[in-house]
Structure 1
Amino acid sequence: MRLRAVIFDMDGTLLDTAPDFIAVCQAMLQQRGLPAIDDKLIRDQVSGGARAMVAATFAMQPQDDGFELLRAEFLERYQAHCAVLSQPFDGMLQLIADIEQAKLIWGVATNKPVRFAEPIMQQLGLAERSAVLVCPDHVSRSKPDPEMLLLACTKIGVAPGEVLFVGDDLRDIESGRAAGCKTAAVTYGYIHPDDNPRNWGADVVVDHPLELRTVLDRALCSC
Structure 2
Amino acid sequence: MSLVPRRKSLVLFDLDGVIVDSRSNMEAAWAAVRRDLGVGVPFSAYFAEIGRPFQDIMARLGLAHQGRRIEAAYRRASSLLIAESPIFDGVEAMLATAAASGVKLGIVTSKDSARTQLVLDRLDVSFMVVMTPEDRLRGKPAPDHLLYAMATCNIDPVETIFVGDMESDAEAARRAGIDYAHAEWGYGERPAQCAFVAETPAMLTTQLFG
- Give 1:21 shift: 2.0
Check conservation: 1:18, 1:46, Cα contact below 8 A.
no
- The answer on 1:21 being equivalent to 2:26 is yes
Check conservation: 1:62, 1:68, Cα contact below 8 A.
no
Q: Distance in 2 between matches of 1:208 and 1:20?
A: 22
Q: Distance in 2 between matches of 1:178 and 1:53?
A: 20
Question: What pairs with 1:20-169 in structure 2 (closer than 5 Å)?
Answer: 20-26=25-31, 41=44, 44-45=47-48, 47=50, 62-63=62-63, 69-78=69-78, 80-81=79-80, 83-122=82-121, 124-126=122-124, 129-169=126-166
Distance 1:177 1:65, change over 3 A: closer
Q: CA RMSD in A?
A: 3.2
> Which of 2, 8, 11 is equivalent to 1:6?
11
Check conservation: 2:170, 2:191, Cα contact below 8 A.
no
Distance 1:72 1:62, change over 3 A: farther
> Which of 167, 189, 203 is equivalent to 1:211?
203
Check conservation: 2:51, 2:109, Cα contact below 8 A.
no
Secondary structure of the equivalent of 1:95? helix
Which has the higher relative contact order, 1 or 2, with Cα contacts under 8 A spaced 6 or more apart? Answer: 2
Q: Deviations over 1:127-148 (max 9, x none)?
A: x611110112114211111110
Q: Distance in 1 between matches of 2:12 and 2:64?
A: 38
Q: Deviations over 1:10-45 (max 9, x none)?
A: 11112112232233345567789xxxx9xx948954
Question: Which position in structure 2 is the counterpart of 1:197?
Answer: 190
Unaligned ranges ≥5, structure 1: 55-60
Q: Distance in 2 between matches of 1:163 and 1:185?
A: 14
State the TM-score, normalized to the length of structure 1: 0.73
Aligned pair count reads 200
Question: Which position in structure 2 is the counterpart of 1:57?
Answer: none
134-143 or 102-111, which deviates more: 134-143
Q: Distance in 2 between matches of 1:63 and 1:145?
A: 21
State the TM-score, normalized to the length of structure 2: 0.77
23-32 or 8-17, which deviates more: 23-32
1:12 counterpart letter in structure 2 = G
Q: Distance in 1 between matches of 2:166 and 2:133?
A: 16
Distance 1:190 1:70, change over 3 A: same
Task: Report % sequence identity.
Answer: 24
- Give 1:5 shift: 1.7
Q: Which has the larger radius of gyration?
A: 1
Secondary structure of the equivalent of 1:88? coil
Q: Distance in 2 between matches of 1:29 and 1:178?
A: 35
Q: Distance in 2 between matches of 1:209 and 1:108?
A: 16
